[in-house]
Amino acid sequence: MEDCIFCRIVRGEIPSDKVYEDDRVLAFRDIEPQAPIHVLLVPKTHYASIMDIDSDTFGYMQTITRKLASELGIAEKGFRVVINTGEDGQQSVKHLHFHILGGRSMQWPPG
């Protein structure tokens, strides 16, 4: 069993501001938000990155992303989904996670 910070949040060992939870995923508010709405969506099974996840779970996370965008009120005006991967991609936690950001105009390029 993995012991990364997101695995510990999934197990309830570290508190989080939950937005959504089911048997496959957990969504919670980022503790350092980069937009008025900044939610992290993680699979409950540990996958180190997008390079490791199976297509069924990845597709399910996309479905939940759409659901959350609607529920959070950001679907109509738009939002951004970011998946950081590896060192150059600035992945700070080695547990796949989607950043769902909205509630303001996003700039491009991001950095």
Residues recognised as catalytic: 97
Give CA–CA dist 8/4, Å, rounded: 6
Cβ pair 27, 20 in contact under 8 A = yes
Cβ pair 43, 57 in contact under 8 A = yes
Give CA–CA dist 57/98, Å, rounded: 13
